[in-house]
Every structure is written in C-alpha cells, then in structure tokens.
Amino acid sequence: MMFKEQVAEDNKVFLNLEEFSDLHMVNGREMAVLIDGNEMIEREKRHQNRQGVYTDGVYIKELLIYVRAEDFGKLPAIGRVLTMDGKTYTISDAIDEDGIYSLSLEANRTGR
C-alpha cells in the first residue's frame, strides 16, 4: 500500500462514528464531525491578546472541528459562514490536512 492510500485509510478511522466522531448537520448535510475542545484551548493560548469578551454578556464562541474533505466538499475560505446543528459560525481558519479539514469556527454569543 502506498503512503497516500494509507493516509486515506487512516482518515476513515479518525472520523469513525463508533470511535471518535459524531453525526452533525453541517451546511444542511449530515456528516461525521470530530469536535476538538483541547486543541482549541491550545490555539487560544497562542493568541492570548484576544480577550474573547466584547461587552456585557457577549463573547466569542470558538470551535475546532474536523471533517472529511470528501464529505464536506471544497475547502471553505476564511470568513465564510458555516451552519452546524442550526447555529451559525464564521470560519476563522481552514486547513486541508491530507483529506481531513481542520476548521476553526467563531460566533458571537450571549451569556444567556
């Protein structure tokens, strides 16, 4: 098996619904999504100059998700809007990691 074929097989395991990911509605389509809270915390530490709070009760909700490129489609541009499970986010970063997209999402939320 060639390297690229092995990576494609590994991607199937990484987003396996019985192991790591769950089904979510992304832009109106159901797909396997892995939400990574730990990596988002590490990325936030690197950008400590951002406060995360704009004003009374309004803050930035951030998510880092992984999806299969073949499920999602074309790699989205930074700044595009993405809807996941009925909530709207702005894509703040998008990376193609050999067939798995790493998408950083942001949204303004209230503390209610």
Domains of the chain with CATH codes:
3-110 (2.40.10)
The arithmetic mean of pLDDT across residues 16-36, rounded, is: 91
Q: What is the pLDDT of residue 61?
A: 78
Distance, CA of 99 to CA of 35 (rounded, Å): 17
pLDDT tens figures, 36-87: 876 555 555 555 445 555 555 666 778 899 999 999 999 999 999 999 999 9
42 three-class SS: helix
CA distances from 2 to 5, 7, 8, 99 (A): 5, 9, 10, 15
The arithmetic mean of pLDDT across residues 97-109, rounded, is: 89
Q: What is the pLDDT of residue 62?
A: 84
Query: Residue 9 phi/psi, 5° resolution?
Result: -65, -40
Report pTM.
0.76
Q: What is the pLDDT of residue 104?
A: 93
Residue 63, H or E segment: strand 58-68
Distance, CA of 11 to CA of 98 (rounded, Å): 9
